[in-house]
Amino acid sequence: MPPIGMARRAVARISARRGAFKAFMFLPSLGV
């Protein structure tokens, strides 16, 4: 597997985790 693919996968994993954290922080503000 090329290093570029591994880096891209790592970035996608970090961005997904960041998005989940942001959504988790937004839930209380939405009143859910």
Q: pLDDT tens across 1-32, in order?
A: 578 889 999 999 999 999 888 888 888 777 66
- Quote the pLDDT of residue 1: 58
How far are the Cα atoms of 3, 4, 6, 21, 31 from residue 15, in angstroms, in the given order? 18, 16, 14, 10, 25
